[in-house]
A and B are shown apart, each in its own frame.
Chain A
């Protein structure tokens, strides 16, 4: 047996086997690293709330227009005063804002919609609405201040 131990001629075969194994492991780690980067970039595409932000602004624009019309009708149409239309509109908008807030709070997002200014025309209906919209989901924050909405009849 002493002969086998003393004979070191063939060690390079075992050594190269080891070298190849180690390099394989290294390559695997590298590839994994690259794959994880890809994972996070794909994940970012899923996480960024682009559709949320769009749907909130689109919905708010549409609702504000309709609320302006509704407020005018409910205040008596042509017999309305700017004050009563504004009061009714503010009530509708705060109601809308509160409901949006509750709905989005359930998925951990904050939505705030407030009225900053309303411009009236001569027939006591609202022509242009200035709103402040803000959205925050913890990582992404979006504000549109002011969001200007033109109400067309």
Chain B
């Protein structure tokens, strides 16, 4: 009898404690899912926001304490960088730039040369936890139409490949990126050769960057006008050395194959010539051949590419991704 009584008590205790433990286990399991979304959710968003802001809106800063010099042109002083920013700046001696959101090509290309330790510390992508430095993972990419941009043959992306298993904090900024040089001519200011449908432009070599020529405000009088081809110093270029883009009033510049029909006065042409076509120190004569066009005939001296050269900016997206 005594034995049966004792047994009943321990079954009861067992039941009570197992209900308690089961619920406790459930609660413990529940806690992480309850808090993880909120506590971790915001912690790196400000970091991504700050990094994107400094890169897009600030020209950066360098400082040399020994000879007391400083400026925003850190791309020329890679050993004395204080802060990395990509915005272009016409006055490197003052701290502010009047052109935020317009990213400078030299600065972008110089960033790619910096090593990871330098980038992490100058972009402030780390946290100090009880005295030791914990680096964040990051990836910073310039994208145009969903694919990374390529400037002077380099893909503009630095950092690591984002992991798939972790939360990633992402900020995107719309920016204008300097990708090269362009000379934009109105149709009434270009010089022509022997006939009124041949445009001649002088290009002085050597050129280290691709030569981009744009012709706008084309006055079209004949319905069958077209652009046919480009020749350099009288010899025909192989098509792979240059490409032609056409803009109409309904589309931006899109790649076209010659001959390109010109139908509307709002049509514009953009020609991109590989810089390897202009390797030596001489003046190259570029002829653009049209059909049934009447450019106003202006005789030599021919117009110079370098006289109208300006930086070419393209709209792009700056993507900053940060993770722990």
Contact = CB atoms under 8 A, between A and B. Distances in A.
Query: Is A in direct contact with B (CB under 8 Å) within the complex?
Result: yes
A38 B98 CA distance: 31
B100 interface: yes
Residue of B24, B31, B39, B41 with highest tally of chain A CB at under 10 A: B39
B46 interface: yes
Interface stretch (B13-21, B175-183, B210-218, B310-318): B13-21
Given A20-B27, A45-B46, A45-B49, A27 B20 contact: no
Contacts of A58: 98
Interface stretch (A9-17, A71-79, A116-124, A130-138): A9-17
A138 B173 CA distance: 28
Given A20-B24, A27-B35, A61-B98, A42 B42 contact: yes
B297 interface: no
Contacts of A106: none
Nearest to A32: B38
B287 to A, nearest CB: 34
Contacts of B35: 27, 31
A39 B38 CA distance: 11
A107 interface: no
A45 B57 CA distance: 15
Interface in B1-54: 13, 16-17, 20, 24, 27, 31, 35, 38-39, 41-43, 45-46, 49
Interface in A1-45: 10, 13, 16-17, 20, 24, 27, 31, 34-35, 38-39, 41-42, 45
Given A20-B27, A42-B45, A58-B98, A35 B38 contact: yes
B121 to A, nearest CB: 23
Contact of B38 (A31, A45, A50): A31
Contacts of B27: 20, 24
B16 A10 contact: yes
B263 to A, nearest CB: 35
Contact of A34 (B39, B46, B49, B100): B39
Given A27-B35, A54-B100, A58-B98, A13 B17 contact: yes
B38 A16 contact: no
Contacts of A42: 42, 45-46
Contacts of A50: 57
Contact of B46 (A17, A20, A27, A41): A41
A2 B98 CA distance: 86
Contact of B39 (A16, A24, A35): A35
Contact of B13 (A10, A17, A34): A10
Contacts of A10: 13, 16
A34 B43 CA distance: 10
Contacts of A17: 20
A10 B45 CA distance: 48
Nearest to B12: A10
A120 B257 CA distance: 53
Of the listed residues A35, A39, A50, the one surrounded by the most CB atoms of chain B closer than 10 A to its CB is A35
Given A20-B24, A45-B49, 20 more contacts: A13-B16, A13-B17, A13-B20, A24-B31, A27-B31, A27-B35, A31-B38, A31-B39, A35-B38, A35-B39, A35-B41, A38-B43, A38-B46, A41-B42, A41-B46, A42-B42, A45-B46, A57-B98, A58-B98, A61-B98
